[in-house]
Structure 1
Amino acid sequence: MVRRLLGSQMQPLEQNQRENIFHTKCSINGKLCSLIVDGGSCTNLASSRLVSKLNLKTNPHPRPYKLQWLSEDGEMMVSQQVEVCFSIRRYNDKVLCDEVAMEASHILLRKPWQYDTKAIHDRFTNKISFKHNDQKIIFKKLSPK
């Protein structure tokens, strides 16, 4: 029993990066918001809560679709899009997102953003780097605090 307890102790943060997603904070209309970069599916997402709280203008989605993996409540219809202007320190960007009801983050940047910026996610250090206006930009993950 003691051997099992000792084996399950917390690993140092560097050894735990394998399972970590990239999570940071950004600013949208002067408000601090959470942002996740994940190389998963082919659409950027913005939370309905973010859209309503910041009174962001939505537009009808050109090709509405059903999404199931994001919610335990079953399928949800994605029928609205929103253009979100955000900044992380000196980096500013505007990204088109599908509006969805999600609690994980305010913005979930996926393959389209990574492709457009040519971002590289170093999963070992959990940093994202890319060039913007001939300057190298590096996003570092949030500290555990």
Structure 2
Amino acid sequence: MVVRVDGEIESKEERVEELEASTDKEEDLEYTVEGEILVIKRSLSLQSTENEQKRENIFHTHCHVQGMVCSMIIDGGSCINVASSMLVEKLSLAKTKHLNPYKLQWLNHGRELKVIKRATAAFSVSKYHDEVVCDVVPMYAGHLLLGRPWQFDRCELHDGYTNRYTFKHLGKCNLSTPHPKTSVR
């Protein structure tokens, strides 16, 4: 439960009901981007059978960045938003000096990376357009990784059973589903 400054009390259940009520209509569903994707090294994949129930924390989808189809991952276990250095270089995204450089180890099998640059990535998934500031690192799992900072800023809710994200952006409710081909090419 959250007590607002004005004294009103808001619960997670109320927020879920509000978001579900506004996204119940089938025509409001947002589907992923289709088209050719930039080539990246395959490092994450999902092998599944028809009747297997998928239980994963990582949500794979595709988005547009400057008209190019890119892979995007939403990961509630990540404490940062990341743009791959390949994406930043190939699309000539403007880089800025990181205000608080730090070392990161989880991306490259034990090698420590110093994160010293940031970039702002404007992306779209269907009708949803957004801009996110990301740390720039060499990453082969995808082009964009949206972690808890993005999830917090968008007040997102993840339904683990259906693997759908519901969130508000610019006063509009959005619902996102994973890309049907969940493995990264």
Q: Shorter-chain TM-score category?
A: 0.7 to 0.9
**Partners in 1 of 2:163 and 2:78 — Cα distance?**
19
Tell me, what secondary structure is at the counterpart of 1:80?
strand
Q: Corresponding residue for 1:6?
A: none
Q: Corresponding residue for 2:29?
A: none
Q: Corresponding residue for 1:4?
A: none
Q: Residues 15-60 of structure 1: CA distance to partner in whole angstroms, max 9, x if unpaired?
A: 1x21362000000000000000001232100000000000011000
Q: Residues 74-116 of structure 1: CA distance to partner in whole angstroms, max 9, x if unpaired?
A: 1011000001100011111010000000100100000010000
Q: Residue type of the partner of 1:10?
A: T
Q: Corresponding residue for 1:102?
A: 139
Gaps of 5+ in 1: 1-8
**Partners in 2 of 1:54 and 1:133 — Cα distance?**
26
Q: How far is the alpha carbon of 1:123 from its aligned partner?
A: 1.1
Q: How far is the alpha carbon of 1:11 from its aligned partner?
A: 5.7
Q: Corresponding residue for 2:170?
A: 133
Q: Corresponding residue for 2:17?
A: none
**Partners in 1 of 2:50 and 2:56 — Cα distance?**
12
**Partners in 1 of 2:174 and 2:133 — Cα distance?**
21
Q: How far is the alpha carbon of 1:130 from its aligned partner?
A: 1.1
Paired residues of 2:66 and 2:123 also in contact (CA < 8 A) = yes
Which protein is richer in strand relative to its size?
1
Matches within 5 A, 1:1-145: 10=49, 12-13=51-52, 15=53, 17-19=54-56, 21-72=58-109, 74-144=111-181
Give the alignment's TM-score, normalised by structure 2: 0.69
Paired residues of 2:58 and 2:76 also in contact (CA < 8 A) = no
Q: How many residues align?
A: 135
Q: How far is the alpha carbon of 1:73 from its aligned partner?
A: 5.3
**Partners in 2 of 1:69 and 1:42 — Cα distance?**
11
Give the RMSD, CA atoms, in angstroms. 1.7
**Partners in 2 of 1:19 and 1:29 — Cα distance?**
29
